[in-house]
Amino acid sequence: MQPVTKLPKIGTTIFTVMSQLAAKHGAVNLGQGFPDFPVPERLVAALESAMRAGHNQYAMMTGVPALRQAIADKTADCYGWRPDVDSEITVTSGASEAIFDAIHAVVHAGEEVIVLDPCYDCYEPAIDLAGARAVHVSLDPVTFAPDWEKVRAAITPKTRMLMINSPHNPSGAMFSAADMQAVADLLRGTDIYLLSDEVYEHIVFDGVRHESALYYPELRERAFVISSFGKTYHCTGWKVGYCIAPPALSAEFRKVHQYNTFCTFTPAQFAFAEMIVAEPDHYRELGAFYQAKRDRFRAQLEGTKLKPLPVPGGYFQLVDYSDVSDLDDLEFSRWLTTEHGVAGIPLSPFYAQPSAGQRLLRLCFAKSDTTLNQAIDRLSKL
């Protein structure tokens, strides 16, 4: 029996496609966004200790109390506001689960969700599965800055949620305080919820402040703010994240969460709780750690025909390949992988309607110096 698909626009994700192609051709994989250097030693030791201590059964649905307390303390340290440990913090199986849960918690069939293109590929499928419609508003094709008047024009009586992402994947662009004020102005007096995807919150550069929605009381009262331990602690495969939201929103969020995954990998929760408390400098200094990688990689790229775009935050570098090829980004990505042994991610899959003539590729610099050196050696031959 052939099922009628609920996701007719969805095939295999571009991240899987490019990683498989990289493996097949022995390419340096700068495509999928995962570090290839070690997880902090304390975190590994704490995980083993938690397992040996017997923390191997179901956790509380909302998350291990010690981790929720650590999250509250870290939030207060970073943003000057402390969420309630019991009613406003929910630990999830990665940020992707949290995004899915938030959408399904408050978005109903026939409603609309505004997303800013280019956007991460898990957004629209979650909206589609809720029976809602994603309304795409494009960011500037060069600076990736939002045009808030275009966003305002996209709002209709059916709009139920606005999704924002800063630092931005794939571009690395960041919202300013003025942008956050514009969001507040847009949503004031409406019944529109905010989903703020902040998984790269600690990977910010050049002394610029990450403008979390948690700084702004007017936004906090209507927001699901989503974070990722995988991004912060170099362990994307552990799939642990969390959502901070007001009590009423968290209650609806948890209704979905408890029948989605119910709870998240228990020993890892104990490990993260210990890591946050014992080594706060890890998240405080993460921006400097990645800025050194960004600066080194950009300096290396200057010796190639690829033109690096500015990277205010996150661990991805966009490069303009116009001086190398006229191929579209999908074909260029395949060519670069198969013929020159370097895998990146094309930008067009992040759009509903890709920008005409755009020649941009996303490269991940969350890699060891050895990996990046090998990639540069190959890119220099273009």
**Distance of alpha carbon 94 from alpha carbon 227, whole angstroms:** 8
- Ranges of beta strands (E only) in the chain are 28-29, 89-92, 112-117, 133-138, 159-165, 193-197, 223-228, 241-244, 307-308, 316-320, 342-343, 345-346, 360-364
- Token pair in block for residue 271: 């490990």
**Rounded to 5°, angle at Cα 21 from 20 and 22:** 90
Amino acid identity of 344? G
Can you tell me the mean pLDDT for 298-321? Answer: 97
Reported confidence tier of residue 273, pLDDT bands at 50, 70, 90: very high
Which pLDDT score, from 0 to 100, does residue 10 have? 83
* Whether residue 360 has pLDDT greater than 90: yes
Amino acid identity of 167? P
* Whether residue 322 has pLDDT greater than 90: yes
- Token pair in block for residue 58: 């179901």
Burial class (CB in 10 A: 0-12, 13-18, 19+), 352: middle
Task: Write the pLDDT tens digit of every residue in 152-205.
Answer: 999 999 999 999 999 999 999 999 999 999 999 999 999 999 999 999 999 999
Which pLDDT score, from 0 to 100, does residue 15 have? 86
Which pLDDT score, from 0 to 100, does residue 16 have? 87
Which pLDDT score, from 0 to 100, does residue 14 have? 87
Reported confidence tier of residue 313, pLDDT bands at 50, 70, 90: very high
Mean pLDDT of the chain: 96
Task: Write the pLDDT tens digit of every residue in 257-266.
Answer: 999 999 999 9
* Residue pair 197/95 in contact by the 8 Å Cβ criterion: yes
Reported confidence tier of residue 18, pLDDT bands at 50, 70, 90: confident
- 159-165 vs 193-197, strand pairing mode: parallel
Which domains, from first to last, does the chain contain? 14-39+284-379 (3.90.1150.10), 41-280 (3.40.640.10)
CB-based contacts of 250-256 (< 8 A; 24+ apart in sequence): 250/87, 250/88, 250/89, 250/90, 251/87, 252/105, 252/106, 253/90, 253/101, 253/102, 253/105, 253/224, 254/61, 254/62, 254/90, 255/105, 256/100, 256/101, 256/104, 256/105
Count of C-beta atoms within a 10 Å radius of residue 153? 10
Can you tell me the mean pLDDT for 254-276? Answer: 98
- Token pair in block for residue 340: 């020159």
Which residues lie across from 308 on neighbouring strands?
319
Which pLDDT score, from 0 to 100, does residue 207 have? 96
Which pLDDT score, from 0 to 100, does residue 81 have? 98
Can you tell me the mean pLDDT for 339-346? Answer: 95
* Whether residue 140 has pLDDT greater than 90: yes
